[in-house]
Amino acid sequence: MKIAVVGTGYVGLVTGTCFAETGNTVTCVDIDQEKVKKLQNGKITIYEPGLEQLFERNIKQGRLFFTTNLAEGIKDAKIIFLALPTPPGEDGSADLKYILKVASDLGPILADYTVIIDKSTVPVGTADKVREKIAANAKVDFDVVSNPEFLREGVAVEDFMKPDRVVIGTNSPRARKIMEALYAPYVRQGNPIIFMDERSAELTKYAANSFLATKITFMNEIANLCELVGADVDAVRKGVGTDSRIGKRFLFPGIGYGGSCFPKDVQALAKSASDVKYDFRILNAVMDVNADQKTKLIQKIKDYFKGNLKGKTIAFWGLSFKPHTDDIREAPSLYNIEELLSEGVTIKAHDPEAIENVKKLLGDKIQYFATPYEAAEGADAIFIATEWPEFRTPDFEKLSRALKGKVIFDGRNLYDLPNMKEQGYTYFSIGREV
Ligand code: UGA
């Protein structure tokens, strides 16, 4: 099938590449000339494990193309994906200007029946708006379908190639048939393609992300309570997570959820609800708790250093919002760095992938190091903000020699308490004994 993907951000690039991988011919369109030039030259623009190999292979085999010209990009395409940004507007609602602009541009240039698919996370009713914009100038039949994307950064290729489920919102039998054929290679293991109306599909995406953010936040509150009553959140997590109704995943407490999706989507769903006069109280509480949770360790640091942080040096391990990505959007690390800098702390940071992105934002306000040990050299303590695998089993003896103070503030509960005691570390984590 000939496919066009408009928008070569995270979702667009993964979607385009993964559709090419099963034999489709895909053209990705973007207005960013510099980005398109790079992609045309075979240079990938995001870090995502496993993607580069697929990207290179599909370019080489003539199935993956890039252009800045929308009309050229959609020529002969039976399917057009819209994978455009929906940033939060001032009031927290998703801003649809990019999507609606492309929809308007598409109307007059569609040459034959086409399925236009919203892949971006968009509020309920967006498919109707897109349809209206296209219809204003279209000369041919078309269908607008909602097909939200559930992939996670860091495991995006795996999530795309073997999705738990594919959600497709359409009432058009013609579009349904095309979508079924398109996704057939990805659901061979029997995972379902769930068809529904467009509005339900749009809401499904927000409901899924908001539910997961709520699940994490609930566990963060249990962790906070554990600290006050002398319980261990790791034990509680295992105890509750083995109940199949609850499930083991997304129960890990820490210094709050971040990233480009959960914060934005929880906020947008709460706003959508309030627009129709529904006070979605649980989501307001989730946002409140998460805001506090991000700097949960700061109080512990202040208490440990008896309120005097000025002149202290902290080795900061992990900058990306989660492991296996260089994405720092809404990363809890940034909130903590800001707090520590304002207290006069010197920050020596290490991250396996995100340093370049942080440099663009913070420049020389903090120092950057290629290894966690170099960052630890002469530091009064370590702060762990992201659970990169390389932090899980450090050489504690080497670390002890590098550090000035054997103190670890761990926002991701990476280490066993008995082991930390044995190694002679003062160890603070989330929801566990000191
Ligand atoms: C999330 C969803 O998981 C995807 O299904 C969805 O497609 C995506 O948003 C999106 O809307 O595009 P992502 O933002 O890549 O994916 O990251 P997650 O792995 O979901 O992690 C989100 C945040 O929750 C991270 O800050 C992570 O550290 C935190 N988290 C996750 C926890 O604090 N505890 C957990 O147990 C799990």
Sketch out the chain's domains with CATH numbers: 2-195 (3.40.50.720), 205-293 (1.10.1040.10), 296-428 (3.40.50.720)
pLDDT band at 78 (very low <50, low <70, confident <90, very high): very high
The residue-averaged pLDDT of 26-39 equals: 98
Place of tokens 């900058």: 319
Residues 343, 124: Cα–Cα separation, whole Å: 44
- Share the mean pLDDT of the chain: 96
pLDDT reported for residue 93: 84
Cα-to-centroid distance, 396 and ligand 1 (Å): 30
30 has pLDDT over 90: yes
Chain segment 187-205, per-residue pLDDT in tens: 999 999 999 999 999 999 9
- Start-to-end C-alpha separation, the chain: 58
Cα-to-centroid distance, 153 and ligand 1 (Å): 8
Which atom of ligand 1 is the closest one to the Cα of 148? 7
pLDDT band at 88 (very low <50, low <70, confident <90, very high): confident
Query: What distances in angstroms separate CA 200 from CA 85, 118, 169, 205, 207, one per listed residue?
Result: 21, 13, 7, 9, 10
Place of tokens 């892949």: 119
SS3 (DSSP) at 430: coil
The residue-averaged pLDDT of 148-155 equals: 93
pLDDT reported for residue 291: 97
Residues 48, 44: Cα–Cα separation, whole Å: 10
pLDDT reported for residue 89: 85
Residues 9, 65, 59: CA angle, nearest 5 degrees: 100
Report the residue among 164, 224, 250, 333 best suited for mutation to probe ligand 1: largest number of ligand atoms under 8 A from its CB. Answer: 250
Chain segment 266-298, per-residue pLDDT in tens: 999 999 999 999 999 999 999 999 999 999 999
Pick from 184, 168, 185: which is nearest to 115 by CA? 168
Cα-to-centroid distance, 179 and ligand 1 (Å): 26
Percent of the chain with pLDDT over 90: 97
Cα-to-centroid distance, 355 and ligand 1 (Å): 20
Q: Does any ligand 1 atom lie closer than 6 A to the CB of residue 295? A: no
Query: What distances in angstroms separate CA 219 from CA 205, 228, 249, 263, one per listed residue?
Result: 22, 14, 11, 17
Chain segment 121-148, per-residue pLDDT in tens: 999 999 999 999 999 999 999 999 999 9
Whose CA is closest to atom 8 on ligand 1? 152
pLDDT reported for residue 375: 98
The residue-averaged pLDDT of 160-168 equals: 97
Q: Name the catalytic one among 18, 28, 226, 261.
A: 261
pLDDT reported for residue 52: 97
The residue-averaged pLDDT of 139-164 equals: 96
Residues 168, 186: Cα–Cα separation, whole Å: 14
The residue-averaged pLDDT of 206-234 equals: 98
pTM here is 0.94
434 has pLDDT over 80: no
